[in-house]
Amino acid sequence: MTRMILGLSLAFLLLAGAPALTSRWTPPQDEKPIPLDDTFWTGTVTVETREKAWSEGWNCKGFRESLSNRKITFNLGKVARYSDVDEWTAERGATFVIVGSRSELDVCHPDGNYKGMRQQFNETTSGSGTAEVTLSPRSKGEREPDKMSISLIADTSGEKVTIKRHWVKTTEDGTKSWDDEQEGSAGHTSLVVPYDPDQAVLSGGKTDRHTYKGEPNPSYWSGEVETTYHYDLRRNRPSDLEAVMIPVGDYDTWRPKAGETEDEAGPRPLAVKVRLQKKGAPGKPGPKRAKFKFELVDTTREKGICLNWPKEAKESYDLKIEQDLNDELSVTNDKGKPTEGQEAHTKSNNLNESLVTISCFDYGAFAKLKVTAILDEGKKTEIRIPAHLESDKSMYELTIPKDKNDNKIADSWEESKGVMGKPADDDSESDPEGDGDSGDGFTLYEEYRGFMEDGFHIWGEPKKKDLFIRNEIGDNVLPGIELFKSITGLEVHSKLTSDELGTTRVINRHRTEMAHSVDQHGLKIVRGSQQFRSEAVWEEGVKKIIGTPKRFKHVEIETGLLGRMTASVKLDRKVAHELLHCCNVEHHGDTDPGKKTIQSVEKPGGGFEIRVFDQAEDGSCEGEGTVIRLVKEVGDTLVPYSGREPELRRGYSVYVARKQGEHSGDVTCVMRWVIAEIYVNSAGEYVRFDDDEVIGQSLCTQTAGTGVNKAGRKPEPRYGDADMAKYRGKCKEKFCVNDLYH
């Protein structure tokens, strides 16, 4: 449904469901154009709209409500007189940035067409682009001949913005959720501001509030709207001077580097020189009669200094102009108020060049530097000359770091990693392939911003999948971690400290607004509480199924293996095995009977029968057991037990396995169990064996059994193929680390 916000002196078109407004604003009939001189305008306009809307459901016979907040900021660039028409039109660099959020809830009546359905979505809107900005000064004509105003029209209808939604829908059949993404129009903005030809600065703002009612049908939207706009427009006169920005030092390869804490600047500040010079005379300074204004815009404010450090993080500007490093500047705004290091100006107004030094507080820091040379012309008029790059006269902002593709990632890093041109939210790594799900849960920007590991900053690998591990056991599980790394091909980071992993295990937890895909978890390996049991322990409250790292609290390694100096191969396999469970890999099957007690019992009429008993938690036998035929595998033959054997008379505990169970499939795979001493053959006999089976040290690529499980083995394959009916085996094609999936 189309909804439009109309203010008293402002029209701002909401993005949600609204078509682009293409008609131009037309002044009242009696308003007259004002002849223009050769001045031009620079400045910014910000419009923020908050709306609460509701309606009575139409087909659903329930109700609907919506809350939205949108903010659009225009940077006018240079708005100069256009030809012989009495209006100023943006001829260079008019841009806009828009951010917004919206939530909408539909609750249907049980008697409606949708039978009590409840549907909700949360929406975010973001975008930027160019805008066609026109300023039209007009008098009030015969009504108020002494009053003048400027009509500002900012048309962005040709630009697209991104709208992302997360849906949750509940019906009689249950609840489901999904995400979608679409393009929308940035729309059209117009406002009228007072105009005094004798003033060089037009600055002010206003808040409009109004309501609208759904008529004639209550299913139409009703709502309350609050729109606030602020404008800061500055008139300039042409000049034969130009201002140029010149980065000092290794700007092309400069990358942000933070200090040890959020309040400590990194060791590599960036210096930028600005020079006022005559047009057509590059390198020759102009007259010393300017002051310079430095502004950092679009500065990131990410929490912490990287994704997982420090332990407790706060939000602050990542790039700043610090007073201590800029003696000739006053780090305040035009009114002398502090700016958190985002604005400064020279103390002197008789300069033809100056220097600003910018400090870095985050490994993913980004900002754009704007510099303006201001020449006082007297009579409340000034000439403002925006500085352009010395290397590119069309660029009036210097990105920090150098970033030609506008993804807020240093071009030098992208080039070094071979990912130049990819968007900041890219997470498309396919190496290793695993189950085919792309990425590792870290966006390109997050890989670039990086992580802290064992006290050192590291970058992620944008072409490989990364996984983070906290090892709380020590050196004796390192070979197992290395085995896991080698057989998966993952980029494993296993030196995390406790604070680097954090209590939530979310590795990319420190963030504010930059590109993010999913809360990606790390893994933790701890010493187990049981002597002969290792396991991947689920987090409380999650569905107990195999999945990605988000599902698992930690991996426990049994103390029995940790205490054996000769058990390194078994320990390595066990560590890799349990880590793979945390990466969506299951056993080859799950049909094994498990721990049983085998014992012979004397029959009333003489002789013996052999029984298998279930075990209680304390290891004692439960029930009367089941009579079995027990045989021993000797080469290709099976030799039966009599029941008189002393070991059987005493009874013993043993692990029993079956076909398509945990011991099935490729014997070289770490996901195959190797603890059975008895298997149940195709005739139902319990077959005991004494030989040691292969301890897997790889990941299988097939379901077919190998070794003792190979088809055609004599007397028969022990456990057979992996359970194909449950899609087991082929473990090389099953692992996934991305918490966006599973």
pLDDT tens for 393-413 read: 889 999 999 999 889 999 999
Q: Alpha-carbon Rg of the chain, whole angstroms?
A: 36
- Which pLDDT score, from 0 to 100, does residue 78 have? 67
| Lookup: tokens for 226 | 């609050």
Cβ-contact 308, 511 below 8 angstroms: no
Q: Is 447 helix (H, G, I), strand (E, B) or coil?
A: helix
Q: CB of 234 within 8 A of CB of 383?
A: no
Say if CB 397 and CB 42 are below 8 A apart: no
Provide φ and ψ at 212, rounded to 5°. -140, 155
Q: Across-strand partners of 54?
A: 65, 222
H or E stretch covering 140 = strand 132-140
Q: Which CATH architecture group holds 241-402? A: Sandwich (2.60)
Which residue has tokens 């999945």? 547
Task: Give the pLDDT of residue 139.
Answer: 61
Q: Where are the domains of the chain?
A: 5-236, 241-402, 413-581, 594-722
CA-to-CA dists, residue 665 to 14, 201, 496, 713, 724, angstroms: 59, 79, 35, 13, 10
The helix/strand/coil state of 161 is: strand
Residues in the chain where the model's pLDDT stays below 70: 1-39, 57-61, 77-78, 80-93, 112, 137-148, 157, 197-198, 200, 218, 237-238, 377-381, 563-567
What was the pLDDT predicted at 39?
67
pLDDT at residue 380, rounded to an integer: 57
Q: Say which residues have a Cβ less than 8 Å from residue 353's Cβ, sequence separation at least 6.
A: 273, 274, 275, 276, 285
What pLDDT is recorded for position 165? 87
What are the pLDDT digits (tens) for 301-354? 999 999 999 999 999 999 999 999 999 999 998 888 999 999 999 999 999 999
Q: How far apart are CA 456 and CA 55, in angstroms?
A: 55
What tokens does 3 get? 């909804």
